[in-house]
Amino acid sequence: MVTIGVSAVLAAAGMGVLRGSMEKAKLTREIIAGRNLITAYQSAAVDNDGRFLPGMDYTVNSVWFEPDKKNITTIHVPHRYPYRLAPYFDYRLEGTILVNDNKKQINQVVAGEYGISTFPTFGMNYYFVGGLVTASGAVQFPGDCVTRSGQGIRSVLVFASGGSGAIDGYNILTPPRLYAQNWSAAAWSKSANPGNWGNVDARYDGKAVCVFLDGSVQLKTIQELRDMRLWSRMAAELDDPNYVIAP
C-alpha cells in the first residue's frame, strides 16, 4: 500500500511538471508571435509613410489574400486588422495570428476567414493606436489616438493576449477607461469572461502577453493594465493613470 501511495504521489508530481512545461511552451510561442506581430506592424507603417495601420477600418471593403489568390469581401473581415496586416508577416497566420489552441477553438465555433479575423490570439488597442476609421474616413478619438510614428512621449500598448470566453483570442481590446471606467473592479479570475476586462485574457498565471509600440513584449497583470498610461499617449503625457477622454 505504501508503494502504491508513493507511486501515486510521484505520478501526480510528474503530471504537474508536465502541465507546467506545456504552459511555459505555450507562453513562449505567444511571446514569439507577439514579436512577429509588432515587427509586421512597424513594417506596415514604414511602407505607408509612417501611418500606423488602423485596427478597424470601415473604408476597406475587400482585402487581397495572396495564398488563396483571392479578394476577401466577407462582411467585417476586411475591416478588422488581421487580414490587412497579413502581407507584412508573409501571410503566416499560424505563429502570428493563430497560436496554440486558438485555431482549433475557432474551428469549433465559427470556422473560416470570419472566425480568424474576429478571434486572433492578440487583440488590438485600436482606440488609441492606429485608430478606428469610420466609413467617412474619420478617426475616432483623433486627439488621443497615435496614428503616426513619432507621436507621444512614451511607448503604448498595441496588442495583448485577447479572449472571448470560449476562444483564446479576440480582435478588440477595450481600455480600462474611455469616457468612464469600462472594466470590472473585480480581481482577475481564470474562470471569468475576459470581456469583463476589455477582452484582455491574463491566461498565463494571471498575466497577459503585452506588445508595445517600441517593439517590447512584456507580461502584465490585469491590475497593472488598469493604468491608462500604458494605453493612451495622452494619459502618459499627463502622467494620469486614471485618464478618461473629456466629453
Q: How many helices (H) and strands (E) does the chain have?
A: 6, 8
70-72 and 122-124 beta bridge pairing? unpaired
Range 75-88 average pLDDT:
98
Evaluate whether residue 9 is within a structural domain: no
Task: Give the tens place of pLDDT for each residue, 94-148.
Answer: 999 999 999 999 999 998 999 999 999 999 999 999 999 999 999 999 999 999 9
CA 4 to chain centre: 46
Cα distance between residue 173 and residue 182, in whole Å:
11
User: Grid coordinates standing for 119?
Assistant: 478571434
Evaluate whether residue 247 is within a structural domain: no
Range 165-189 average pLDDT:
95
pLDDT of residue 4: 62
Torsion angle in degrees (nearest 10) through CA of 155, 163, 87, 77: -120
Evaluate whether residue 244 is within a structural domain: no
Evaluate whether residue 157 is within a structural domain: yes
One-letter identity of residue 174: T
Q: How many domains does the chain have?
A: 1
Evaluate whether residue 202 is within a structural domain: yes
pLDDT of residue 16: 55
Range 165-173 average pLDDT:
94
pLDDT of residue 156: 95
pLDDT of residue 14: 57
Evaluate whether residue 14 is within a structural domain: no
Question: Which residues, 6 or more positions from 59, have their beta carbon under 8 angstroms from its beta carbon?
Answer: 133, 134, 135, 137
Statement: residue 55 has pLDDT above 80:
yes
Evaluate whether residue 176 is within a structural domain: yes
Neighbouring CB atoms inside 10 A of 151's CB total: 14
Cα distance between residue 105 and residue 110, in whole Å:
9
pLDDT tier at 151 (50, 70, 90 boundaries)? confident
**Short-list 126, 146, 110, CA closest to 57:** 126
pLDDT tier at 17 (50, 70, 90 boundaries)? low
Evaluate whether residue 217 is within a structural domain: yes
Place of cell 513594417: 43
Range of the domain at 184: 22-238
pLDDT tier at 3 (50, 70, 90 boundaries)? low
pLDDT of residue 7: 53
Please tell me whether the overall predicted TM-score, pTM, comes out greater than 0.75 for this model.
yes
Q: Report which DSSP code applies to 51.
A: B
Inter-residue contact 100 to 201 (CB < 8 Å): no
Task: Please calculate the CA angle 171-161-87 and round it to the nearest 5 degrees.
Answer: 55
Cα distance between residue 220 and residue 208, in whole Å:
5
63-65 and 70-72 beta bridge pairing? antiparallel
* Phi, psi dihedrals of residue 138, rounded to the nearest 5°: -85, 145
Cα distance between residue 46 and residue 59, in whole Å:
21
